[in-house]
């Protein structure tokens, strides 16, 4: 009988310790961040045509829940300008002007993702890493001819750091990288089909429930 009580007490101690650890690690929060976009250039049509999204500023909203170091997830929505620039560097007919023709399409980008999170608390700080998937929605501004919207899957990765200032509020610093197909939003140029990359360093604030 004493042995059974001892085992029961030991099991109860482990259970309480696990519950305390989970409670200390768990977090549910909402966050708003500002970021800049820095975009790669893709080349297609034997390298004669180049497409680049102009660098811009944007905003990100996050709803995040973390249960333990390996069980964390978030839903995000972000918006930024995504004007596309097209350059044709191939030969042009005689008398048609220089052989470096530039065109641009004014557009907005909306992104929706679901992400997995790995994180751990370290005093007032919480480092984290993330990976996810979602949709990149690129919409030309109305009133432009030969344009169409583009909806492409986007793959997201990143890392960052939460800095808790008071029990329910803090700053969030992070870097997010996006990989997706270059949006085909104009029929004036051939279809690209290549993947591009957007880097997004950002700073924001979070409120913890």
* CATH of region 26-208, choose from 1.10.10.10, 2.40.160.20, 3.40.50.970, 3.40.390.10: 2.40.160.20
3 state SS of 121 = coil
Residues 6+ apart with CB under 8 A from 132: 74, 76, 113, 114, 115, 116, 155, 156, 157
Which burial class, exposed, middle or buried, applies to 153 when counting CB atoms under 10 A from its CB (0-12, 13-18, 19+)? Answer: exposed
3 state SS of 11 = helix
Structure tokens at 148: 């169409």
Closest CA to 64 of 52, 56, 74: 74
Structure tokens at 50: 């180049």
Residue 84: count of CB within 10 angstroms of its CB? 26
How do the pLDDT tens digits run along the chain, 209 residues long?
Answer: 454 666 666 655 544 444 444 455 789 999 999 999 999 999 887 777 889 999 999 999 999 999 998 999 999 999 999 999 988 877 654 444 554 577 889 999 999 999 999 999 999 999 999 999 999 999 999 989 889 999 999 999 999 999 999 999 999 999 999 999 999 898 877 678 889 999 999 999 999 99
Structure tokens at 135: 């949709």
b/e for 6-15, b at 16 or more Cβ within 10 A?
A: eeeeeeeeee
**Each residue's pLDDT tens digit, 85-144:** 988 877 654 444 554 577 889 999 999 999 999 999 999 999 999 999 999 999 999 989
């Amino acid at each position: 009988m004493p042995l059974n009580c001892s085992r029961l007490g030991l099991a109860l101690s482990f259970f309480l310790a696990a519950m305390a650890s989970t409670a200390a690690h768990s977090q549910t929060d909402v966050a708003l961040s500002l970021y800049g976009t820095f975009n790669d250039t893709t080349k297609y049509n034997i390298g004669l045509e180049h497409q680049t999204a102009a660098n811009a500023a944007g905003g990100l909203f996050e709803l995040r829940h973390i249960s333990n170091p390996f069980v964390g997830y978030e839903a995000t929505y972000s918006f930024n300008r995504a004007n596309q620039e097209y350059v044709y560097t191939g030969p042009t007919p005689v008398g048609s002007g220089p052989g470096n023709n530039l065109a641009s399409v004014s557009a907005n980008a909306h992104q929706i993702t679901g992400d997995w999170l790995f994180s751990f608390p370290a005093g007032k700080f919480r480092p984290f890493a993330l990976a996810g998937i979602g949709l990149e929605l690129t919409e030309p501004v109305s009133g432009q001819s030969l344009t169409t919207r583009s909806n492409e899957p986007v793959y997201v990765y990143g890392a960052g750091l939460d800095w808790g200032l008071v029990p329910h509020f803090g700053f969030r610093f992070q870097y997010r990288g996006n990989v997706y197909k270059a949006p085909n939003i104009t029929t004036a140029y051939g279809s690209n089909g290549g993947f591009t990359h957007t880097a997004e360093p950002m700073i924001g604030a979070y409120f913890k429930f």
